[in-house]
A and B are shown apart, each in its own frame.
Chain A
Amino acid sequence: MSSINRNGLPISLNLGASTRRRFILRSAAAAAALPVLRSGLIDVASAAGEAVTFACYGGSYNDNITKAFLEGFEKKTGIKVALGADASLALAKLQAEVNPAQWDIVELTGPEYEVAVKQDLLLPLDTGLVDASKVPAEYKGSHGIKYALFLFVMAWDQRVIPDETAPKSWADFWDTAKYPGKRSLSANIGDGSALEAALLADGVAIDKLYPLDVDRAFKSLERLGKANIIWHNTNQEPIQQLTSGEVALATSFNGRVIPATRSGAKIGFTPEYGGVSGDYLGVVKTSGNAKNAFKLIDHVISDDQADAEYIKLTTYTSVNTEALKLVPPELADTLPTSPKLAGKVFIKDDAWWAANLEKTLLQFKQWQLA
């Protein structure tokens, strides 16, 4: 049968010279068309994508940010926001080297913000778009605004340690005879306040913490016992460790504990001897979406309803002074900035930490490895 060609292959499979030439021509044409296709796709994406990308901390905090701010913002302006996790100074620095940046807004702790401004990683605040009239002056920076204040607290597993016998001070927290077992401390000494807690446990007066005596803090941690400490790296970990029963005592933030208890976790905490710190929202220098990013920051610090909702959901304080008036008084008393807590909490010193973060981190790592 002549369906077999002279090479023994079926004729349909016979790629003669003409079909090979046709194949090469077609693939060359397709390759030439690719750039056109690609730019077409990108145009479509950027027209619909006025989306702002916001790097935050993840976990329940991201859920609360979405509920309090992002849903309302999208309804008000139609701008979508993509929320991410793992915000840090390193992320901001990486973004500043990429143009356009993948993350428009990065949440930075106080000391991280100071270093970021020094290293020129952020855009100056666009005062035309951001209405900061309701924010007290001490929270306004040149390149960002401190949008919320957190409380660093000691937390315990209520199933193992009932509230009546819970630790009332860091010295109690340090007492391994009274509370045997391990403690989970935040390894992020710039964001959490493990060193300050160690100093308070050692007997330093709450208004005489800064400048930190780092060596004394290490000795105090050694008194607790290196074998008794589990260091956690993310803010959701202590909640996970307390609920799984891995530890009975941990350091955490009030805005992490309360959402957990609302979902049924049995975690107790005390605001006494807690640390007040705040985070800045800054727009990265190479952001391709700076206008919309500043609009989001404006919404976060000036929309009274959204801020009151944020306070109710997280029990962190929004710096919007008008929003505080919309919050029920029982809740207002537990906030980090409540006058009831004045004198019983310490304010984390951003300036000292900005100047000493690198040195202290290296000392801390060295101490950990010894």
Chain B
Amino acid sequence: MSADELRVPRTPRPPLQQSGAGRFPLDRLLLLLPIAVLYGLLMLVPLSFIMKTSLARGFGHYREVLETPVLWRVVENTVVISTLTTVISLILAYVYAAALWRSHSVFRIFLFGLIMLPFWTGVLVKNFAWAALLQDNGVIIGLLRAIGIEAQISLLHNRFAVILGMVHYVLPYAVFPIYSAMVAIDWRLVRAAQSLGASSRRAIVAVVVPLSLPGVLAAALLTFIISTGFFITPVLLGGPRDMMVANLVDFYANDIVDFSNAAALAMLVVAAISILVIAYQRLPKEGQYGAL
């Protein structure tokens, strides 16, 4: 028996309430006004300035940015590092979310507190802490030396340190969508599967994994988008070979001092991420009560 056959039949939903004064949703528009003003002023207006700066010579700046050989190395770095960060943090987040879901009272509060700590700590503090731990005469290598291991490897200013710092930052963002998807799962479904003869492991795999998948997809998208935009971690923890696309925008803006090229690159990144988000919206996602 699969989870499909256990699905609860859909109950018909009541019709939407109409507002009293005709069918024009004026009150709904008015409710959206504050967030539209906030979003418009703080996000859309600056974005339009950047777009204006990038179009200073028509599409010349876009062409210039796309023709720079440095760009493709940086894009490759960004995609590789972001994908690795997403995969690693998803695996860790899934285990953590499951533990959070099945734990009780005190232990659950403890786990919550633990995952919120990196959330509440500033990114600069976190990165400097990792730098102090990972540097050549720092805490970790010092500890290894104390127990007799003469570690010749370099833990800082390379991709390992960057991914470590990024996973540390992104983990809370990955845990919460997965956790909220798991919390919505009815544990009786697992019991039902067990009562139909499945071993507990088979029951969990058959019930929990498919139903938590929308949460995993949401977490994957969120962590990937956050990872592509990282700037400070590659600077503090990475070497020059770990330059990501945000660092390239900074390079154009501050070192070359060509604001239009920087703006063009920024707009290209926005366009690429938008394509990703649109693709995500098109993915079919099934929850416990049917398609989401």
Q: Given A182-B136, A231-B240, A362-B68, does the pair A369, B73 have CB atoms closer than 8 Å? A: yes
**Is A361 within 8 A of B157, CB to CB?**
no
Stretch touching chain B among A4-12, A88-96, A298-306: A88-96
Q: From A93, A115, A227, A362, give the contact of B259 (CB < 8 A).
A: A93
Collect the chain B residues with CB atoms within 8 Å of residue A366's CB.
69-70
Q: From B74, B235, B254, give the contact of A88 (CB < 8 A).
A: B254
**Is A362 within 8 A of B70, CB to CB?**
yes
Q: Given A230-B157, A246-B137, does the pair A369, B256 have CB atoms closer than 8 Å? A: no
**Is B69 within 8 A of A90, CB to CB?**
no
Collect the chain A residues with CB atoms within 8 Å of residue B258's CB.
358
B180 contacts A by Cβ under 8 Å: no
Q: Given A368-B241, A369-B243, does the pair A246, B135 have CB atoms closer than 8 Å? A: yes
Closest residue of A by beta carbon distance from B251: A365
B200 contacts A by Cβ under 8 Å: no
Collect the chain A residues with CB atoms within 8 Å of residue B103's CB.
none
Collect the chain A residues with CB atoms within 8 Å of residue B47's CB.
none
**Is B137 within 8 A of A369, CB to CB?**
no
On A, residues with C-beta under 8 Å from B are 88-90, 93-94, 115, 181-182, 187, 226-227, 230-231, 233, 244-247, 358, 361-362, 365-366, 368-370
Collect the chain A residues with CB atoms within 8 Å of residue B138's CB.
246
Q: From A226, A246, A361, give the contact of B255 (CB < 8 A).
A: A361
From A187, A226, A246, A365, residue with most partner B Cβ within 10 Å: A365
Nearest CB on A from B57, distance (A): 15
Collect the chain B residues with CB atoms within 8 Å of residue A244's CB.
135, 137
**Is A93 within 8 A of B257, CB to CB?**
yes
Collect the chain B residues with CB atoms within 8 Å of residue A358's CB.
256, 258
**Is A89 within 8 A of B257, CB to CB?**
yes
The range of chain B's interface size is 20 to 34
Closest residue of B by beta carbon distance from A233: B235
Collect the chain B residues with CB atoms within 8 Å of residue A247's CB.
136
Closest residue of B by beta carbon distance from A92: B257
Closest residue of A by beta carbon distance from B247: A365
Collect the chain B residues with CB atoms within 8 Å of residue A187's CB.
240
**Is B240 within 8 A of A90, CB to CB?**
no
B267 contacts A by Cβ under 8 Å: no
On B, residues with C-beta under 8 Å from A are 68-70, 73-74, 77, 135-138, 154, 157, 235, 239-241, 243, 251, 253-259
**Is B256 within 8 A of A362, CB to CB?**
yes
Task: Give complex CA distance A365, B258 in Å.
Answer: 15
The secondary-structure label for the interface of chain A is: helix
**Is A90 within 8 A of B257, CB to CB?**
yes
**Is B154 within 8 A of A227, CB to CB?**
yes
Task: Give complex CA distance A231, B255 in Å.
Answer: 15
Task: Give complex CA distance A233, B258 in Å.
Answer: 19
Known contacts A226-B241, A365-B240; can you find 6 more A-B pairs with CB under 8 A?
Answer: A88-B254, A90-B255, A227-B154, A233-B235, A246-B135, A358-B256
Closest residue of B by beta carbon distance from A247: B136
Q: List 28 A-B contacts (CB under 8 A).
A: A90-B253, A90-B257, A115-B257, A181-B136, A182-B136, A182-B154, A226-B240, A227-B154, A230-B157, A244-B137, A245-B136, A246-B135, A246-B136, A246-B137, A247-B136, A358-B256, A358-B258, A361-B251, A361-B255, A361-B256, A362-B68, A365-B251, A366-B70, A369-B73, A369-B74, A369-B77, A369-B240, A370-B73
Task: Give complex CA distance A226, B241 in Å.
Answer: 10
Nearest CB on B from A274, distance (A): 24
Collect the chain B residues with CB atoms within 8 Å of residue A93's CB.
257, 259
Nearest CB on A from B42, distance (A): 19
Collect the chain A residues with CB atoms within 8 Å of residue B243's CB.
365, 368-369
Task: Give complex CA distance A187, B239 in Å.
Answer: 11
Collect the chain A residues with CB atoms within 8 Å of residue B256's CB.
358, 361-362
Task: Give complex CA distance A35, B257 in Å.
Answer: 37
Nearest CB on B from A285, distance (A): 15
Closest residue of A by beta carbon distance from B259: A93
Closest 7 CB pairs of A and B: A368-B240, A245-B137, A90-B254, A369-B73, A90-B257, A246-B135, A89-B257
**Is B259 within 8 A of A365, CB to CB?**
no
Task: Give complex CA distance A93, B136 in Å.
Answer: 38
Collect the chain A residues with CB atoms within 8 Å of residue B259's CB.
93-94
Collect the chain B residues with CB atoms within 8 Å of residue A94's CB.
259
Collect the chain B residues with CB atoms within 8 Å of residue A90's CB.
253-255, 257
Collect the chain B residues with CB atoms within 8 Å of residue A182's CB.
136, 154
Q: Given A245-B137, A246-B136, does the pair A369, B254 have CB atoms closer than 8 Å? A: no
Task: Give complex CA distance A370, B251 in Å.
Answer: 16
Collect the chain A residues with CB atoms within 8 Å of residue B77's CB.
369
From A90, A244, A361, residue with most partner B Cβ within 10 Å: A90
Task: Give complex CA distance A233, B239 in Å.
Answer: 12
Closest residue of B by beta carbon distance from A358: B256
Task: Give complex CA distance A57, B73 in Å.
Answer: 31
Collect the chain A residues with CB atoms within 8 Å of residue B137's CB.
244-246
Q: Given A93-B259, A231-B240, does the pair A365, B157 have CB atoms closer than 8 Å? A: no
Collect the chain A residues with CB atoms within 8 Å of residue B154's CB.
182, 227
Collect the chain A residues with CB atoms within 8 Å of residue B136's CB.
181-182, 245-247
Collect the chain A residues with CB atoms within 8 Å of residue B135's CB.
244, 246
Task: Give complex CA distance A362, B255 in Å.
Answer: 9
Closest residue of B by beta carbon distance from A115: B257
